[in-house]
Amino acid sequence: MNKAIVRTFMALAVLFAALIVNVVYIQVIRAGALKDKPQNRARILQEARVERGRILAFDGSVIAGSRKADGYWQRTYPQGRFAPQTVGYSSLRYGRSGLEASMDDYLTGQAADLGLRSWLDRLLDRDPEGADVRLTLVPAVQKAARQALGSQTGAIVALDPVTGAVMAVASTPDYDPAQLVDRFAQLSKRKSAPLLDRALQGLYPPGSSFKVLTAGAALQTGVATPETVFEDTGTYRVSGGKVTNYGDEVFGANTLTEALTYSINTTFGKIGNELRGKRLIAHMERFGFWDRPPLELPASMVRISGRYDDDALLPPGAPMDPLAVAWAAVGQEQVLATPLQMALVAAAVANGGRVMSPYLVDRVLTAQGGEVRVTKPVVWKEALDARYAVQLNEMMQQVVDVGTGTAAALSGIDVAGKTGTAERGDANQAWFIGFAPAQAPRVAVAVTIEDTPGTGGAVAAPLAAAVMRAALDEERLP
């Protein structure tokens, strides 16, 4: 055969193969990413002609339904401002966010595991039937969290420490999802950021609520026991700087239990340097820091907790001098955490040292009511040995019984918790994390309030009590 013909044939074969590879890449490998782009309005327009599956609360009540207008299906919201940032929106103009985006294949009937009906719909070019997505959010708990926040800027997360099921995720300020399309431009420009899900995306210095983690690391490594005695003079000088107590208090001799109960900064600064930075960071990782909690949401909607330089997450091995270690152990320095992460810290203690994978989707149901997917509890992290979790549980009960967290107490129920008050300029970041009942936990919670003159004990703890009470009043939880 003529060499020129052979070369031409080979060149065409290579080009044809490249074309096939490119088509496969675009239509198969990149299909998911391309269809989810906000710019892909053609797909959204096409899907809007088909009734979307419902998003349901744990009790089966409708959070997001559908109605038809002008030939297109539009979302309705029977429960109003029900976790709008987390549930998300599905809009012809603005695309999708939250669970509306991450569960889109199910809601539009496109998911491969929806069974024979879904395959036949596609084969016969019929309009698919969207599946319903039932969440773990419990209306009474969600509404209690939203009501507790009121007009304050902050967030609350409540979850089952034994399963990881998220029962409430409230972030304020929020917005009315029924008015999103008309007010999107205004909402997106507000300094108060109502579109931001502070419960999952907000990164804050955890302050003294972080001392639960530091105390757990001290117990786990043998650096201290609940009865180990420390001496407080009001100031811990280290590496050319100092750690002081809130309000410049002086406590004198104190045990580790008392240091947690009364939130003694100097003791925890000393513990941090006895642990040293490497071990402190290692225990942060054991609780879930530096890892994205595996919620069923777009990756950008769940921030990673850790040490930050401006908006950049520092690697776990980033250098720390002894002063930095001391303040990190107190929950300040460059340590930033989401409310979800701090709820998981409390949940780890409640669950015998194990951190369960948090989840929002309880199950997916076909239009005929069949179960397509049911979430099963899975261990995410092993934070502490069980015996140290028990010791820490007892120490946290002291915080609520006689310490800084008495405002979180519930009549007739043992509550374990920890307050936090991180200083941010002229205002505070107030925290409370905890769980109840302490001996058989059913709910773990994290509350944080931005830019407040008050402390965690005064501002956040009462809100936590209200949310825990709402959860414990429910006969059935996820």
Coil, strand or helix: which one is 108? coil
Treating both helix axes as pointing N-terminal to C-terminal, what angle do 339-350 and 386-402 enclose, rounded to 10 degrees? Answer: 110
Q: Which of 91, 208, 209, 263 is catalytic?
A: 208
Q: State the alpha helices, DSSP H only, in 81-205.
A: 84-87, 98-102, 104-107, 116-123, 139-149, 180-189, 198-201
Q: Using omega within 30 degrees of 0 as the cis cutoff, is the peptide bond preceding 38 cis?
A: no
Query: Which one-letter amino acid corresponds to residue 18?
Result: A
- The secondary structure element, H or E, covering residue 468 is helix 461-472
Cα separation, 299 vs 354, in Å, equals: 23
What distance lies between CA 80 and its chain's CA centroid? 22
Cα separation, 363 vs 407, in Å, equals: 36
- The secondary structure element, H or E, covering residue 287 is helix 265-287
Q: Which of 423, 461, 470, 419 is nearest to 442 (CA)?
A: 470
Q: Assess whether 263 carries a catalytic annotation.
A: no
Residue where the block lists tokens 């089952």: 160
Cα separation, 442 vs 158, in Å, equals: 10
Query: Which one-letter amino acid corresponds to residue 343?
Result: A
User: Is there a contact between 402 and 394 (Cβ–Cβ < 8 Å)?
Assistant: no
CB atoms inside a 10 Å sphere around CB 415: 26
Cα separation, 288 vs 195, in Å, equals: 25
Coil, strand or helix: which one is 223? coil
Cα separation, 68 vs 460, in Å, equals: 43
- CA torsion 9-10-12-15 (nearest 10°) is 170
**Cα angle: 141, vertex 146, 150; to 5 degrees:** 145
Q: Where are the beta strands (DSSP E) in 173-240?
A: 229-232, 235-238
Cα separation, 453 vs 240, in Å, equals: 29
Query: Which one-letter amino acid corresponds to residue 295?
Result: L
Catalytic residue annotation: 208
